[in-house]
Amino acid sequence: MAGDTPDRRGGIERRGGAGREAGRSSSDAGRQRTGGRAGAGGAGAAARSRAGTDPAAEPPVRGTMSEARRYTPRGRSVRDASVEHAGSGRGDPFRPALEVLQGGRTDTGRRAAGRAADTPRPPATEPGRAPKTPARTTQRMHRAVTDVDGEPRTGRTGARPAPLKRAAAPVRGTGRTPARKTTPVRKPRKQSRVRVPRLPRTNRAPKLAEPRRRLRLATVLALLMFAAIGIRLVQLQLTDASAYAAQGLENRLAHDTLAASRGAILDRTGKILVHSVETRSVIGDPFLIKDPEKTADRLFAVLDHYGVLRSDLVRLLTPHKRSDGKTDARFEYLARQISVEDSEKIQKLGYGAAISFERDERREVPGYDLASNVIGYTQKSDLSGQLGIEKAYNEQLRGVDGLHVYEHGEGDLDKPLPQGFEKLTPARPGSSVELTIDADLQFSVQYALGAKMTALGATFGTAIVLDARTMEVMAMASYPSFAAADPGKSEKEDLKDQCTATVFDPGSVHKAIVMGAALQEGLITPASTITVNSKVKKGDTTYTDHPPQKDGTAMTIPGILALSSNVGTIAVADLLGKDKLYEYQRRFGLGQRTGVGLPNESPGQLLPPNEWTGSSPGSIPIGNGVATTAIQMAAVYGAIANDGLWVQPTLVRKIIAPDGTETKPAAPVTRRVMDPVYAQQLRTMLEGVTTLGDATGHQAAIPGYRIAGKTGTSKLPQDGGYAPGEVVSFIGMAPAEAPRYVVAVTAHVPTGAGGSVAAPLFKEMMAVTLSNFGVVPTGTAAPKLTIYP
């Protein structure tokens, strides 16, 4: 038989020729697309007739509930409609609802083809009857193959399958049900599985939401959030708890600085030269002041003697902005360093928080301007040293501020909390500085200098008293002076210490260095004589004496010093040579700071031999062309008085800590300049300045005491030249046979000489010094000296 034959399992043999022809006919009918589903059905009927199957003889097929769901009210299955929808772009409007009933899935494409391939063969049927194909299997076979344009295909040729028909109703009167026509389905080859391409995304059915997936995602996010919160809580409670607790405590802590009291400056006997007293600063909050004018009037009545202006009080008490123009000015100093008594008067006015007070202190100078150029002054705001001892020993004087840290509340509870945190670091007051100056002697020297300089119209004046044995400064006065408690009222030039900061040509007081060096080098002796002329020329400058000597006049060394002979001194310097002269200048301390203990000390200026000019051998020996300070020249004569030992001058004896511990400064620098025997010879020759006839220093003589010293008259360097006027000086020691004190007086006056201006001041100051310290005359006779041999 040429048609399809059922196999043992009831399937249809796919290799029959009639089946292949039927498949080709169906395929051709599908390609022509003229008969739609009818064409497909016709092809199926022709295939069945050729196979010898009688449709009327087929038993009715009983449908199932699952099969019934697949039919729409139009009589077509949902899946058939889907196939048409994919191919034509139109679909059944009830398909989404039916898909929900089916579980939200459509078996199309590759999955349907796979199920069709895996469908088991139907069981074998009796001979003469068509094999029974379950409706679901038939539907799966219809979905098994779909071509690209959405049309379903079957078999190797891809013929369009006929649509499934409803089960035929029984024929009346016969009780038989017409046989259902079925479409034979060929078993697809396993190796020829049709690969169906995906439909375009625009033609896909929209995916339905899946609540379970969203619920799982929300659960995961919630767990992550709670995990993060838990980790942060653990971190706050365990890891960072102490840090946050400390930060919270810090926000509740108040830090009040306890200002350390500045140390005092004392004289050598413990008298106070300057010290600090407790005061108050008045602070105003302009935004709490209701009537600035009235408030300023009431405050001015108390603060007028502190230099406060009423207009300033009104301006400060009127609400205003800071300099940035944005911030309210809630804190303004109305007055600084007022007395405690006056602050209590203001407090009684009852301004409350609008007017507050702050602890302060000010420097008080009992002596007004006593030793003010030595003491210096402090800045008013923070009491930091600005000049003199206040600046040089600022670290020791200022002390260390204390700190009061306590826990406080807010608002009305803005006060230390009971049982709260509190830490008190007491302030450590500054140490006191004890000077070598004697207050009584300082007053006498300073008063005498000031009176004389004022009378003469001097530009500046200095007076220094040294202890010849220790080189301690017993008194050091400057003119002009100033009020150390209120330096703002004085000119800036008046504030400096003239003894250490002002330089000048020493003049004839420099001749002692020339004679001392010549004695030490053995070039002269006290009995030596020097031939002098009326003048001597060095380079382009001629040097003479006053009065001039006759040419070829022989003079003794004491005579040259007594008459202050320029020609004779230049002759001795020629014997010494410029290199040796420069060496002894350095050894006596010229051209370098003494280190007496004051800031802004000048080193002076000393010309090295290689820089000398043609006139230098004549000008430098007589004290011109050399810039020195008063303290440097006082130290030179101190070395002569101290038997040739140069000792560094000192101003500070010791530092006294608040607990009474005393600390002495480093030992002064010393160096040997002359042998004692030559120093004694030089002192003896210098006595002739006050004893020999026609000597320049007669006015420095003190009855009963032997005085050794030298006068000087020179110029004040200024802007590369010399200022008008004369720099006059006298430096001497007493008693000359065993010196106890050295007094150096220097002044720049419009006119005058050392013998007429400085010598009388020396006499007055030395007499007071000897008297105050009980130095009595030795009773030894003065040496017999001559000017000419």
286-331: pLDDT as tens digits: 999 999 999 999 999 999 888 899 999 999 999 999 888 888 888 8
Distance of CA 221 to the CA centre of its chain: 47
pLDDT over 70 (residue 99) = no
pLDDT confidence band for 446 (50 / 70 / 90): very high
pLDDT over 90 (residue 568) = yes
CA–CA distance, 603 with 599 (Å, rounded to integer) = 12
Q: What is the mean pLDDT of residues 680-693?
A: 95
DSSP at 435 = E
Q: At what angle do helices 511-520 and 566-576 cross, to 10 degrees?
A: 40
**Beta pairing class for 460-467 and 432-435:** unpaired
Place of tokens 């160096």: 671
pLDDT over 70 (residue 431) = yes
Helix/strand/coil for 6:
strand
CA–CA distance, 209 with 333 (Å, rounded to integer) = 75
CA–CA distance, 764 with 125 (Å, rounded to integer) = 160
Q: Note the pLDDT of residue 4.
A: 41
CA–CA distance, 170 with 174 (Å, rounded to integer) = 8
pLDDT over 50 (residue 143) = no
Q: Note the pLDDT of residue 207.
A: 66
pLDDT over 90 (residue 373) = yes
Q: Note the pLDDT of residue 196.
A: 56
Q: Smallest Cα–Cα separation from 450: which of 745, 701, 767?
A: 745
Task: Give bridge partners of residue 274 from the DSSP assignment.
Answer: 265
Q: Are 766 and 739 in contact (CB under 8 A)?
A: no
CA–CA distance, 472 with 435 (Å, rounded to integer) = 9
Distance of CA 531 to the CA centre of its chain: 72
Q: Which residue has better confidence, 89 or 771?
A: 771
CA–CA distance, 308 with 301 (Å, rounded to integer) = 10
Q: Which two tokens stand for residue 111?
A: 């999955």
* Averaged pLDDT of the chain: 80
Q: Which residue has better confidence, 232 or 686?
A: 686
pLDDT confidence band for 186 (50 / 70 / 90): low
**Beta pairing class for 265-266 and 432-435:** parallel
Cα-based distances in Å from 336 to 359, 361, 430: 10, 9, 21
Which bin fits 322, alpha (ψ -120 to 50), beta or left (φ > 0)? beta
Side chain identity at 774, as an amino acid letter?
G
Q: What is the mean pLDDT of residues 491-496?
A: 89
Type and span of the H or E element at 682: helix 676-686
* φ and ψ of 269, to 5 deg: -100, 0
285: number of Cβ within 10 Å:
19
CA–CA distance, 619 with 514 (Å, rounded to integer) = 12
Q: Are 569 and 560 in contact (CB under 8 A)?
A: yes
pLDDT confidence band for 24 (50 / 70 / 90): very low
CA–CA distance, 465 with 437 (Å, rounded to integer) = 9
692: number of Cβ within 10 Å:
20
For a pLDDT cut of 90, what percent of the chain falls above it?
55
Q: Where in the chain is the domain with CATH 3.90.1310.10?
A: 256-435
CATH topology for 256-435 is Penicillin-binding protein 2a (Domain 2) (3.90.1310)
Omega of the bond leading into 480 within 30 degrees of 0 (cis): yes
Task: Give bridge partners of residue 361 from the DSSP assignment.
Answer: 278
pLDDT over 70 (residue 698) = yes
* Interior/surface letters 580-599, b for 16+ CB within 10 angstroms, e for the rest: bbbebbebbbbbebbbbbbb
Q: Are 498 and 479 in contact (CB under 8 A)?
A: yes
Q: Are 787 and 563 in contact (CB under 8 A)?
A: yes
40-60: pLDDT as tens digits: 444 444 444 444 444 444 444
Q: Note the pLDDT of residue 180.
A: 52
- 202-211, 282-291, 432-441: least confidently modelled range: 202-211
Q: Smallest Cα–Cα separation from 484: which of 389, 393, 397, 395?
A: 389
pLDDT over 70 (residue 22) = no
Q: Note the pLDDT of residue 188.
A: 56
Q: Note the pLDDT of residue 305.
A: 86
CA–CA distance, 696 with 758 (Å, rounded to integer) = 11
Q: Note the pLDDT of residue 259.
A: 83
**Alpha helices for 404-484 (secondary structure H):** 439-456
pLDDT over 70 (residue 134) = no
- 178-192, 227-241, 333-347: least confidently modelled range: 178-192
pLDDT over 90 (residue 18) = no
735 Cβ neighbours under 8 A, 6+ residues apart: 705, 706, 775, 777, 778
pLDDT confidence band for 107 (50 / 70 / 90): very low
Helix/strand/coil for 330:
coil
pLDDT over 60 (residue 703) = yes
Farthest-apart Cα atoms in the chain, separation: 191
- 67-76, 187-196, 535-544: least confidently modelled range: 67-76
715-746: pLDDT as tens digits: 999 888 899 999 999 999 999 999 999 999 99
Q: Note the pLDDT of residue 23.
A: 41
Supply the DSSP string of 211-275, one letter for each residue.
HHHHHHHHHHHHHHHHHHHHHHHHIIIIISHHHHHHHHHHHTEEEEEEPPPPPPEE-TTS-EEEE
* φ and ψ of 775, to 5 deg: -90, 115
369: number of Cβ within 10 Å:
19
749-773: pLDDT as tens digits: 999 999 999 999 999 999 999 999 9
Q: Note the pLDDT of residue 546.
A: 85
- 162-166, 705-709, 715-719: least confidently modelled range: 162-166
Q: Which residue has better confidence, 434 or 6?
A: 434
Helix/strand/coil for 142:
helix
Compute the Cα dihedral for 764, 765, 768, 770 and give only its sign. negative
575-586: pLDDT as tens digits: 999 999 999 999
Q: Note the pLDDT of residue 92.
A: 52
CA–CA distance, 223 with 363 (Å, rounded to integer) = 71
Q: Are 649 and 630 in contact (CB under 8 A)?
A: no
Side chain identity at 384, as an amino acid letter?
S
pLDDT confidence band for 183 (50 / 70 / 90): low
Q: Which two tokens stand for residue 121?
A: 């063969």
Q: What is the mean pLDDT of residues 150-156?
A: 45
Q: Note the pLDDT of residue 235.
A: 80
pLDDT over 80 (residue 700) = yes
Side chain identity at 501, as an amino acid letter?
A
270: number of Cβ within 10 Å:
11
Q: What is the pTM of this model?
A: 0.68
pLDDT over 50 (residue 638) = yes
- 218-227, 472-481, 487-496, 691-700: least confidently modelled range: 487-496
Q: Where in the chain is the domain with CATH 3.40.710.10?
A: 441-487+503-772
CA–CA distance, 632 with 153 (Å, rounded to integer) = 127
677: number of Cβ within 10 Å:
12
pLDDT over 80 (residue 419) = no
**Beta pairing class for 645-647 and 422-425:** unpaired
∠300-328-319 over CA atoms, to 5°? 35
Most confident of 20-24, 190-194, 417-421: 417-421
Tell which CATH classification among 1.20.210.10, 3.40.710.10, 3.65.10.10, 1.10.645.10 matches the domain 441-487+503-772.
3.40.710.10
CA–CA distance, 640 with 310 (Å, rounded to integer) = 61
DSSP at 327 = S
